[in-house]
Amino acid sequence: MRYSDLTTRIAGEGSAAWDLHFEAMQRKNEGEAITVLSVGDPDFFTPTPIVEAAIESLRAGDTHYAAILGISRLRQAIAKRFSQESGIATQENQVAVLAGGQCALFGVVHCVLNPLDEVIVIDPTYVTYEGVFGACGAQMVKVPAKVENDFVVQAADIATAITPKTKAILINSPQNPTGAVIPRDTWLAIAQLCCEHDLWLISDEVYSSLVYEGEHIHPATLPGMAQRTATINSLSKSHAMTGWRLGWVVGPTELMTHLENLGLSMLYGCPEFIQKAACVALESDLSETIEMRQQYKLRSQSVTHALADALGATVFKPKAGMFVMLDIRPTGLNAHQFARRLLDEWGVSVLVGDAFGRQTEGFVRIGLVEPVPVLLDACKKIKQLTKALISEKENSKSLCVAGF
């Protein structure tokens, strides 16, 4: 049978990057002792009050079609939270509830971009972006966020990449995979570019609750930005609710009208019992979420500290998020070879940085998705591998010198 061209555009390298992870999961499910650190899925349980609210809602019969853009109570809770965090007064009609940050991103991109429009994204790029832009036909123009700049993109590099075809910039801060956080002065310069060139800013803020160093800036708060910014967030990381698929967009009311039409032709509203549970998540500061945040910070510090003296590898200290990046280029292997050997010889799975773009080639991403003792054990194994690789490298060098 014949399929659409879209099927080719959504099957990029982004989906192939997960092959080793799926293999690790399968081997773990078959009983092998494998520590899976290749995914950004929190190991924490969703806080009990949220789970209870969903059950109660189901029992009360909330099993029918729900409002396409979300129930009023939830849209209000999101608007209130955003107003408190950003300081901009936000109303319910500036909010759309969608099935996770991913679906929110998909919706915004389809309402804002035409095929062949250019959209500036930052390299490293979160792996699913390629498929999202592939689906709508927009062209990604990558601007590097280099390790020597702490993986923070430079506004001057963005300026150089803007052409008459550019319609939007997509920025993810705090960033997956590096945990980089864009500082205020860089944001101000990016905002100025958006205003000067009449661009949309799509701001993916799904890690905004997990900042350990520096501050999270909502670009929508910057001069001239509220009317051109679509802020995307979700409960996935902040509340350990990845499987609930609950996210949202905050932006101009006209964008919400278009998202409603798109929602009508596709999702037809998130399940009401999930929305009721989300209200409980957002209407108060649950102690469980505060504890999770502290744990991620502790895990991030423990892993960076444990890997600081790794022979043949350099650890990058994240400012936010739930990942730590390790540069393994000095071992002489590429990231794929390294991840393969780490899985096969030491039973630890990590994601190759190459999946995110050129700037993280030769890095591996370690997910902080296990308790500290498990992570420290994984770090020990990683260090044993890097050490072994360095001596393999030195042995092969001396064999070469000896003329073998």
Report the interface residues with ligand PLP, using CB under 6 A.
40, 100-102, 126, 172, 176, 204, 206, 234, 236, 242, 247
Q: Is the CB of 182 or the CB of 333 nearer to ligand PLP?
A: 182
- Structure tokens belonging to residue 129: 């972006």
Say if strands 35-36 and 348-349 run parallel, antiparallel, or are unpaired: parallel
Q: Is the CB of 121 or the CB of 155 nearer to ligand PLP?
A: 121
Question: Which stretch of DSSP H or E encloses residue 20?
Answer: helix 19-29
Distance CA 122, CA 171 (A): 7
Q: Is the CB of 87 or the CB of 243 nearer to ligand PLP?
A: 243
Q: How far is the CB of 96 from ligand PLP (least distance, A)?
A: 14
Q: How far is the CB of 196 from ligand PLP (least distance, A)?
A: 26
Q: How far is the CB of 125 from ligand PLP (least distance, A)?
A: 9
Distance of CA 58 to the CA centre of its chain: 30
For residue 142, report the phi and psi dihedrals to the nearest 5 degrees. -90, 135
What DSSP string runs through 68-124? Answer: TT--HHHHHHHHHHHHHHH-S---GGGEEEESHHHHHHHHHHHHH--TT-EEEEEES
Q: Is the CB of 113 or the CB of 132 nearer to ligand PLP?
A: 132
Distance CA 205, CA 95 (A): 15
Distance CA 107, CA 112 (A): 9
Q: How far is the CB of 171 from ligand PLP (least distance, A)?
A: 10
Q: Is the CB of 118 or the CB of 205 nearer to ligand PLP?
A: 205
**Phi/psi class of residue 6: alpha, beta or left (left: φ > 0; alpha: ψ in -120 to 50)?**
alpha
Q: How far is the CB of 40 from ligand PLP (least distance, A)?
A: 4
Distance of CA 103 to the CA centre of its chain: 13
Is the bond into 47 cis (omega within 30 degrees of 0)?
no
Q: How far is the CB of 311 from ligand PLP (least distance, A)?
A: 30
Q: How far is the CB of 115 from ligand PLP (least distance, A)?
A: 23
Q: Is the CB of 229 or the CB of 386 nearer to ligand PLP?
A: 229
| End-to-end C-alpha distance for the chain, whole angstroms | 55
Residue keyed to tokens 């590097």: 144
Q: How far is the CB of 13 from ligand PLP (least distance, A)?
A: 16
Q: Is the CB of 279 or the CB of 310 nearer to ligand PLP?
A: 279
Residue keyed to tokens 């798109």: 262
Q: Is the CB of 35 or the CB of 234 nearer to ligand PLP?
A: 234
Instruction: Say if residues 132 and 111 touch (Cβ distance below 8 Å).
Output: no
Task: Choose among 301, 295, 333: nearest CA to 315.
Answer: 301
